[in-house]
Structure 1
Amino acid sequence: MERKYKKLLKCMVLDAIGMASAALPVVDVVWAPIAASISYRMFGEKRGKYTSVITFIEEILPVTDVIPSFTIFWFLFDFLGVGEKAKTANSPVDTDFIEIN
């Protein structure tokens, strides 16, 4: 299985744990900081700052546990590549080193 799809499977499991914690709201108090920490490490230092805050808020608030935040972040960052630098053939060229005949 491709690496990014293994990550998707992990995200789905983490979302299932978050949804299961909705049955016992006391568990959310423990799960929210754990989920935020996992989100930070899973999505990298730069994106993780934002994903961890969003994940914490989503997990700590009642009724929002049904939102699959890990899977949404995977879809945005790993599947669609949102926030990545564009990899184009038309990258800037340093004109100081171009030889013109």
Structure 2
Amino acid sequence: MAYKKLFLGILFDAIGMLSFSIPFVGEFSDVVWAPLPGFLMTRMYKGKLGRIGGIISFAEEFLPYIDFIPTFTLSWIYYYKFKKKD
């Protein structure tokens, strides 16, 4: 399950970065795409990480010129490599 989330995270990050390939039109597409990664993050990671990650993911896609940050991949690394298991 962990590597499925990693694959999906990389895919969602790649979709978010596609806007860089289309000058000027790409930033408009971010406004349309922004709510979806916020929602997907809350579905992939439950609890506090999902809520905070969803807000960050939404803001990162919505705000211009900062959507190069791989939010989903960084969330996966935090969750599976750094977060202490209860």
Unmatched tracts of structure 2, length 5 or more: none
TM-score by length of 2: 0.86
Unmatched tracts of structure 1, length 5 or more: 86-101
Q: CA deviation at 1:57?
A: 0.7
The answer to whether the Cα contact below 8 Å between 1:21 and 1:31 also exists between their aligned partners in 2 is: no
Structure number with greater Rg is 1
Q: Answer 1 or 2: higher relative contact order, Cα 8 Å, separation at least 6.
A: 2
- Structure 1 runs of 4+ with >4 Å offset: none
Measured in 2, the distance between the counterparts of 1:83 and 1:51 equals: 17
Measured in 2, the distance between the counterparts of 1:62 and 1:25 equals: 6
TM-score by length of 1: 0.74
Matched residue, 1:17: 15
Q: Deviations over 1:28-80 (max 9, x none)?
A: 11111011000110111332111100101111111111110000000001233
In terms of fraction of residues, the more helix-rich structure is 2
The alignment's C-alpha RMSD in Å is 1.4
